[in-house]
Amino acid sequence: MDSRKMQAHTEADKLHEECGVFGMYDFDGNDVASTIYYGLFALQHRGQESCGIAVSRTSGPPKNINVLKGMGLVNEVFTQESLAKMQGDIGVGHVRYSTAGASTRENAQPLVLNYVKGTLALAHNGNLINANELREELEYTGAIFQTTIDSEVIAYHIARERLASKTAEEAVRRAAEKLKGAFSLVVASPRKLVGARDPFGFKPLCIGKRHNAYIIASETCALETVGAEFVRDILPGEVVTITPEGISSDTSLCLPREKEARCIFEYIYFARPDSHIDGVSVYASRIRAGRFLAIDAPAEADLVVGVPESGNAAALGYSLQSGIPYGTAFVKNSYVGRTFIKPGQSSRESSVRVKLNVLREAVKGKRIIMIDDSIVRGTTSDRIVQMLRDAGAREVHVRISSPPFLHPCYFGTDIPKREQLIAHNRSMEEIREIIGADSLGYLKIERLTEMAEGRSICKGCFTGNYPVDPPTQDIRGNYER
C-alpha cells in the first residue's frame, strides 16, 4: 500500500484540514526561504501530503521566481542545500492535505503564474463552492489548467483581473468578489505581499513582524516559531497589502460581524493549542469545552484522560470542573509517519496500537473518563475504548468535545458524506453500543459560541445550516445535503 494511503488508513476516523500558508517580505533584502521553511514546519499539522516554497528578488528582473515543491513532509522535501539555492526577499510557502483535487505533485502549492504584468505566487487554504463555475468560465475563454485544485482557479482570476487593475491588491480584491466559500490567501507579486481572507472568516490568517520583515501566516504559532511578534489578525473579508511603505487595508468585502462564520474546528481540533485565532486562545477554548462537558455530561469516575493531542486540554478542563483527577493513559508514538509499513491483514487494528499505547498501571481497576475531540466514523473510538478495557479499566465513559457530526463540510474540512458518519440516523445509545463505552456524552451545540468567546462561527457540520448555500456538485464529486 502507498505510504500516504497507509497514513490515511491509520487515521481513518480523524478529521483533516486542507492547508497552511506562510508568506514573508524582508525589506532589508535578506533571503526568506529558510524562515518560510521553519514557518511551514510549525504549520505541518495542517497538512502532511505536500508542501512547497516560492521566492523571488524584488530588486531583480521580472519573472525571477524560484519554486520548489513536492510530496511529503517539510523536512522530506527540503534540504539545507536546496534552501540555500532559493534566494529571494519575498516568498510564500504552503503545506497541503487534499480535500479538493488529487494528492499529486502537480497539485502541490504554491502555484506560480507568469503573465503579462509579471509573476504571482499564490498559496491558498480553504475550499470554494463555485470552483466548477469559475473554472468553466475560464476554460471557455481559452484557459488551460495544469492542476485539479480550486487554488489554480483563484490564481487565474487574480491574473486576469490584474490586466484591468491598477494594483495587485486591487486584482486580488476583484477576484475575491467572485469567490464563494472558504479562502485564506497569501500572494506574492513582484514587489508586494498580499493577504486575503474570505468575508466569513472560515480559515484563520494573521500578520507578524520580525525586525524589518513582515509575515502572513495561518496561525500565530508559526510566528512564534520564527521569532516574530504578532501584529494582528486579518479580518474576515479584508485584503491587506504589505510593502516597504507599510500595511494598507481594504475592508470593502467585510460583512457585519454577526454574519461571520469561523470554522469552529480550528478551536476544537485543527489549530495548535499554542495559537490564538481572532483573539481567542485555542488552549483556553479547549479547556472551556472540557468544563462544559463536566457540567452537562457528568460521570462518576476515578480518572480523566485525554486522547492525544487535542483531547488533552479538554480532559484537563473536565478535571478542573469536576474535581476528578487528571492523568495520562496514552503514550503516543510521534514517529509514525508516511513511511509506516502495512503489517498484514490486521492493519486496521494494528495501526491504532502502533500510534497509541495504554499505560496499564494508570488505568487498571479504575473508572475512566476518556475525552476525545470528535467521533467521525467510529472506527478508531471503539478500538481505543477496547484498549482501555484490555489494560484493566473497570469502566470507560467517553466524552466528546464537539457535537455529533450530522452533515458534510464544503469549506475545506474533510468530513465525509452523511452515510459514513456514525451519528447519521443513530441514537446516542446506538453510538455508545458501537464504540463499546459505558456512557457517552457530546458537547452541546449551544456551548460552541461560548467556547469561541462569542465569536460568530460556522456550525454547518452539526446543524446542516450553512452560512452559504452548499453546492450540488464540486470538483470532489456529488454532494448530498
Tell me whether residue 19 is one of the annotated catalytic residues: yes
| β-pair partners for 359 | none
Q: In what order do the strands lie in the sheet with 229-233?
A: 66-71, 50-56, 90-96, 19-26, 213-217, 206-210, 229-233
H-type alpha helices, 297-436: 310-322, 347-355, 360-363, 381-390, 428-435
| Helix-, strand-, coil-residue percentages of the chain, each rounded to 5 | 30, 25, 45
- Cα separation of 121 and 21, whole Å? 12
* DSSP β-ladder status, 367-372 and 303-306: parallel
Which residue in the block uniquely carries the three cell numbers 474533510? Answer: 414
Instruction: Calculate ∠ Cα 274-205-286, nearest 5°.
Output: 35
Start-to-end C-alpha separation, the chain: 33
Number of Cα atoms under 13 Å in the Cβ half of residue 435: 32
Name the catalytic one among 19, 51, 221, 263.
Answer: 19
Q: What is the CA radius of gyration of the chain?
A: 23
Instruction: Calculate ∠ Cα 466-260-257, nearest 5°.
Output: 145
- Cα separation of 193 and 191, whole Å? 7
Residue 399, number of CB atoms within 10 A of its CB: 28
Task: Tell me, rounded to whole angstroms, the distance of Cα 112 from its chain centroid.
Answer: 22
Residue 36 has phi, psi (to 5 degrees) of: -60, -40
Which sequence positions are flagged as catalytic? 19
